[in-house]
Structure 1
Amino acid sequence: MKLLVSYILGILIFIPVTIFILSYFIFRKILKKRANQSVRLAADITTFFLFFSVTISIATLWGTRLSLIAIAISLLIAIIMTYQDWKTKKEMKIIPLLRKIWRVQFLYLVLVYNAVWLVGIVQSILFFIT
């Protein structure tokens, strides 16, 4: 049972990279050589999986649950972007604002995902060396 749980966690941790690559190639095929739009759509899909993957990766590596902190940071980003949009534009458009927030979330989560992986790899190397 413990082995099954570790396999499931491992798959969930790797899903964002796989989903990004697969969805990029699928959208590239559908949209016929519109690379920029394919990347944006692939990023939109991957953001959902990154949110869970980052929290699972942190929980797996350090045994702490940071889901509430991740949600709080995501909400803070959304609040800051909404306030900025409200101050700079006369009329706020909800759909473009949500799209911007979602893409900033993607960038934030990719940075955290890569940082967690890098720290995890260094930590594993140090563990095996000592």
Structure 2
Amino acid sequence: MNDIINLISAFILIPAILFIFTFAVAKYALKKRKKSIGIAADITTFLLFFSVSIVFNIVFDKEIGFLIIIIAILIATLLTILEWRSKKEIEVQSLLRKIWRLFFILLCVTYALLWLIGVIRYVLKYIS
């Protein structure tokens, strides 16, 4: 049981591990690189919601999980309105894929920035 908990913890703290693992499995099963990247991004996005919240808590000692969910809902609402105004008829599956992939990009960038800030803070604390 501890092995499973340790594996989940590693995936949460370093979601790139899950991305690479999922990509490798999907690439082996599907033999299609682009589709495999999409599947890996979709699975990793779910985990990034938790990872960003946890890393933010570690770096700044503040909880933002609920704020991330509210921002995600606002972004999804805004994209839905923009899609509706441009096409008048919304393709739900296509819209959800766009929203989910946008979340992947935003959360990856946020995660990387938080890690960079955390490392800089740790180095500055160590130096002084």
The runs of at least 4 consecutive aligned structure 1 residues that moved more than 2 Å come to: 7-12
Q: For residues 65-93 of structure 1, what are the alpha-carbon distances to aligned partners after superposition, in whole Å with 9 as ceiling and x for unaligned?
A: 01121111111110111011100113111
Equivalence map 1:45-124=2 (5 Å): 45-124=43-122
Distance 1:113 1:66, change over 3 A: same
Q: CA deviation at 1:37?
A: 1.0
User: What is the rounded CA distance, in whole Å, between the counterparts of 1:8 and 1:23 in structure 2?
Assistant: 14
Q: Give a deviation string over 1:23-78, Cα, whole Å, max 9, x none.
A: 0011111111x211111110000000000000000111211001121111111110
Aligned to 2:27: 28
TM-score, normalisation: structure 1: 0.88
Distance 1:52 1:37 in 2: 24
Partners of 1:27 and 1:100 lie apart in 2 by: 20
- Contact 1:47/1:106 (<8 A) preserved: yes
Deviation at 1:122, TM superposition (A): 0.5
TM-score, structure 2 normalization: 0.89
Number of aligned residues: 122
SS of 1:21's equivalent in the other structure is helix
- For residues 100 and 93 of structure 1, the distance between their equivalents in structure 2, rounded to whole angstroms, comes to 11
- Contact kept in structure 2, 1:47 and 1:109, CA below 8 Å: yes
Runs of 5+ in structure 1 lacking a partner?
1-6
Letter in 1 for 2:117: V
